[in-house]
Amino acid sequence: MSAERKFVKVAVFVLVYNLIVIAWGAFVRISFSGDGCGSHWPLCNGELMPSFENIKTAVEFSHRVSSGLVLPLTIAMIVMAHRTFGSKRAATKWSWATLLFVCISATVGMLLVKFGWVGQNDSMGRAITLAAHLINTMLLLGALTAAIWYGSGRPKIAMKGMAGWLAVVGSLAVLLVGMSGAVTSLGDTIFPRGSSLQVITEGLSPTGHFLLRLRIWHPFIAVAVSLILFFAVIVLSDICERKEVRTYGRRVIGVVALQLLVGLVNVWMKAPAAMAIVHLLLADVLWILTVRLWLSAIESPKRVPVSAGAAVEG
């Protein structure tokens, strides 16, 4: 096996491992276990190895350990990138970008613990930090996806043309819906409601809690972003020559449709923990696929329309 293929395999493993850590982190929030280690960080309740008499402590500590392993895995990936590609290749640079986002993620996690933005805390600070945490996580996954792309031998590309503009607008749209989803999920966790009518009534109330008022906007944002992605896929499939653009476009549309379905089920079932985690993971998968679509579309040469006269001569 070539060194390039070994790097890609390691990068894919790091990507999948991060998805597992993300899912476990969502469970920590949903189970109100974020204060399982108190306000201590990086120690847990002031101890390197705490007692696990409290289930919340076990859940939070296991999340810290699994999150902590992301750092050495990322460093190992960077070392492999330097040995395989050198310091100036795109795969190496995106590996370093991954490390940056990993460090930011750890810092945000520390802030959540230190400021007590865990458990039943419903402050604006927690909502903003949680949204920022979600965006940073998606950027981390995007950096890993780019590292895998370039590690596979794809040439360096520049954001330009219609494909570049669609990539920028589409990326911002997906980040926006992810951010609103994070805030909505927090509201669903802290303020569970017995009926959709109650959610709508409280969301429209000008005196209601901001989490209740914000969460009714998420479905509308999700539909708007779905339309943007659908439009982007149609345009890119038309202007790009490479077949894989259409292949990844179909995958993006498929995951978008599945996300909308899961969202409806989430509303109907009042956002159970398992469905909330599935919804989050699908959002991450959608982001990975869209980044892959943008990279392929920007690299793909444009189709050259053939005139009627040229077609006859041919």
The number of domains in the chain is: 2
The pLDDT of residue 306 is above 50:
no
Which is more confident, 14 or 130? 14
87 in a domain, yes or no? yes
Query: Is there a single domain that holds both residue 98 and residue 237?
Result: no
Query: Is there a single domain that holds both residue 148 and residue 95?
Result: yes
Name the H helices within 31-89. 55-68, 70-85
The pLDDT of residue 108 is above 60:
yes
**Lowest mean pLDDT: which of 87-96, 129-138, 180-189, 193-202?**
193-202
Cα separation, 70 vs 75, whole angstroms: 9
The one-letter code for the residue type at 195 is S
**Mean pLDDT score of the chain, rounded to an integer?**
85
Phi-psi region of 119 (alpha: psi -120 to 50; beta: other; left: phi over 0): left
Query: Is there a single domain that holds both residue 134 and residue 205?
Result: no
Please identify, among 131, 156, 181, the residue that sits at the C-terminal boundary of a domain: 156
Cα separation, 301 vs 314, whole angstroms: 22
The pLDDT of residue 80 is above 80:
yes
The pLDDT of residue 307 is above 50:
no
Closest among 74, 197, 246 to 144, alpha carbons compared: 74
Cα separation, 28 vs 56, whole angstroms: 8
pLDDT of residue 40: 80
Residue range(s) defining the domain that contains residue 138: 1-156
pLDDT grade for 309, boundaries at 50, 70 and 90: very low
Cα separation, 293 vs 250, whole angstroms: 10
pLDDT digits (tens, 9 = 90+) for 259-295: 999 988 877 777 677 888 898 899 999 999 999 999 9
pLDDT digits (tens, 9 = 90+) for 7-45: 999 999 999 999 999 999 888 888 888 888 887 888 887
Share of the chain above pLDDT 90, in %: 45
Kindly report the CATH number assigned to the domain that includes residue 258.
1.20.120
309 in a domain, yes or no? no
Query: Is there a single domain that holds both residue 141 and residue 39?
Result: yes
The pLDDT of residue 147 is above 90:
yes
Cα separation, 56 vs 63, whole angstroms: 11
Phi, psi angles (nearest 5°) of residue 259: -60, -45
Helix/strand/coil for 123 = coil
Q: How far is CA 258 from the centre of its chain?
A: 16
pLDDT digits (tens, 9 = 90+) for 209-221: 777 778 788 889 9
pLDDT of residue 211: 79
Q: What average pLDDT does the segment 306-312 reach?
A: 40
Phi, psi angles (nearest 5°) of residue 299: -75, -30
pLDDT of residue 162: 84
Cα torsion 71, 72, 75, 80: sign:
negative
Helix/strand/coil for 43 = coil
Query: Is there a single domain that holds both residue 147 and residue 170?
Result: no
Query: Is there a single domain that holds both residue 41 and residue 3?
Result: yes
The angle, 0 to 180 degrees and rounded to 10, between the axes of the packed helices 161-190 and 218-239 is 160
C-alpha distances (whole Å) from 109 to each of 38, 67, 103, 178 are: 13, 10, 10, 18
The pLDDT of residue 240 is above 60:
yes
